[in-house]
Structure 1
């Protein structure tokens, strides 16, 4: 069945001409859908997947701050195929001006993270000695290495489960590197508290090296893992975090609730460290977290720019699976109500989201996520199955550019919940809520 797309807003036939010829027999659109344009063919990395995989398993020199950082503790070969394909796609997307670094903890690996950072300087003993016993140890190892890599070299941290939908230059990096721009740190923001106060997730950071905000966040986060901690249990009760309570759901961005938010707050404890620093004024060195947050953060709306599939399906991983698995073209294609829903969703993602975040999430949230299905052995090729909406999304993520400009959120100066303490000093009880 032939594809049927709306005409593009500003079709650039010279950009699409070569690709159109390639797509004439592949079921791909001859013209870009509304809100999109084709990436010029010369900008699409033409290496095979195998060549890119070989590249990713080698250490590359850091020659600038245009670095993309990935980490998977057990190495490339242990990653689920859909995760590998997302990393490969980011290499294709970013081009030669950016260096994509894949890091791991595999003994003898050329890309071992210790080949990039000084473990004694940056990492707590429980990490260096292999004593972390959490079921999610790999995720917490990732939390512990992401900030040192950015502090040392600068660049962008991407969680491996993200599908990049626009170039990092266009998302935020042009603003970060511009000496005339006020912005120093970019990230995705979402509601986390009863008053829908925005906080920053830790799956994406963009910054130049030695960022003062992230330096302080990491001081706090590393401290959580000292004094005998081998897992995250109870982190929200740590003296440096306990004055903040727990995350709150439901809220405007997460429409479900949990009877006990303690374990989820523990799992997301690095986000709580960010929250501490953004409310903190340090009388020892004068660092002003509220002022930094309001003036130097390039905040990106997380639900719309990262979780559009969640918003559309009301956090229903099974429904996401059904829509992305549906045939978009080919002999088994049926253009029913689900087809049009999937078509609309995929084009909304491609044209109006910066990334697509896929993960299995915090404990107890597995049913929310599409990745719960793609992680299963029987579905490991589902994201590229011929003719499906999932395969089209994969293809579009490497071949379409968005037309829109991404504007940051306007962040107000916090004047009420402001705490005065040193970075590693507990906040006094009488300061809480002020």
Structure 2
């Protein structure tokens, strides 16, 4: 029996179950189809609603069923139909993998899918097409809004890869690896961890074929975030170790090594290793010694502007609350003064400050910062901020009895991740 069958056995429609849990109906549909998994705070409520234990719930979740026809006889909108953007992106990714794999098997004098066709403008400059989309993604309040653009760029790149038959294939392979990472970022923000991991793995594979060590390292760093989202910090350190070695073979003028170090600091903090965390943060600080050309605004954006936020968040993980609060308040002021800062970034800092309040058992601090973060999550539809807030609920403990904190928890429960 799968999740949908258990729901129906209890007489619940998707709408009714969603209402009980404070989520969108489409979220329930995605759980049932196996496209996303409930977050830890949602799992407890879902198990109670379905009258099963958490172990029994895990068994139900391992048997996803296709979204079913509801009583009306119409196809449920949570079914990934022909026009579903997630499904379209996956199909384009598979096409590119097939074509790029074939290209790497061709002799260099028989493959011109690269520079020649692209430089003469057909099809529309694939070597430049990604940088603008990264900028759009970075500035978009709702990351899901980038789906159609990514899908179109994937289709364009697919045509470019298939168009020629002579020349060096590396420039287009580089572009493909770049775009795989962007597709992974969109999936990760939407809580589609499996899709994100697949995109990052493809990016790493194509980067290897292109001989792009920095791009390859960045793909592994992003893949490590998938592990860390499930608190698998030791597994993440294995990927980060490989990324560190690859970055060492890359361009020393780029910020790749510094970004690897910043993420290693997060993994160390997750394992409670203060000394390792501090060493990694010090290494990450070396980004300030690099030139403006050390980042590209796309797959490598680590310029040191978020170092205060990174350090503050690591101190929260390690329980160094005084250090964390001082650092994060400074970072919050920076997000207020700087123009064009993303809701995701500010929401993350606010959530960390709320977490400090929870650890101190200070309901006023939890509510003050938590509510503002909720508002940003609602305005941006950011799955990342919503995930951070859902994790915050696990920190409430006895504070949940405070009606203000309970109301905040209820608001967080209504947040829908894309």
TM-score scaled to structure 2, two decimals? 0.30
More strand by share: 1
More helix by share: 2
TM-score scaled to structure 1, two decimals? 0.30
